[in-house]
Amino acid sequence: MAEQRVATSKVAGTWAWYMQRLSALALIVLLAVHIYLDHFEGVAEEESGDTLIEFGDVSLRFEELIYVVVDYLLLAFVLFHGLNGARTVLLDFDRFLRHRKVLDIGLFILGVATLIWGIVILFPFLQGD
């Protein structure tokens, strides 16, 4: 099937295009905050005294709310940006373009499920000891 190439915004939609840029900028800011907090402010010497990050270190770190908030925000934005980006790549293939509704619903479900997965797996650290 010979197809004319069209702009990404026409295939993937303006909203997807705009949100991809917005989440990109948010991720750059969040990454800077994450690197500052995790690697400059309070390094992993907290509990065990060495550089090896262990369960207790992570748990201790999460006693400060900002770490939890930044991590969950990073997770949400990364998931959106990653899956939305994957969608753009996949829609460049006719095979996926033909089933875009299935693709959209599939990626949305995958995104929400993974977000819940990511939120739940931090609970053991948040309960503390």
Partner 1 sequence: MDLSPRMFKWLFGRNSEWWPTNMKTGMWAWIGHRLTGIILVVYIFMHLSFITTASLGDGEKNFNALMAVTSQPLLVAMDFLLVVVVIYHAMNGFRVVLFDFCVGIKHQKLIFWIMMAVTAVLTVAGLWAVWHLIFPGGEV
Q: Out of 10, 15, 24, 41, point to the residue binding partner 1 (CB under 8 A).
A: 24
Handedness of CA 98, 101, 102, 104 (dihedral sign): positive
Least spacing, CB of residue 55 vs partner 1, in Å: 4
Backbone angles phi, psi at 67, to 5 degrees: -65, -45
For residues 50 to 89, the per-residue mask of contacts with partner 1, x marking binding by CB under 8 A and - elsewhere, is -xxxxxx-x-------------------xx--xx-xx--x
Residue 99 binding partner 1, by CB under 8 A: no
* Cβ proximity of 70 and 62 under 8 Å: no
**For residue 59, how far is the Cα from the chain centroid?**
21
The residues that touch partner 1, with contacts defined as CB under 8 A, are 21, 24-25, 27-28, 31, 39, 51-56, 58, 78-79, 82-83, 85-86, 89, 114, 117-118, 120-125
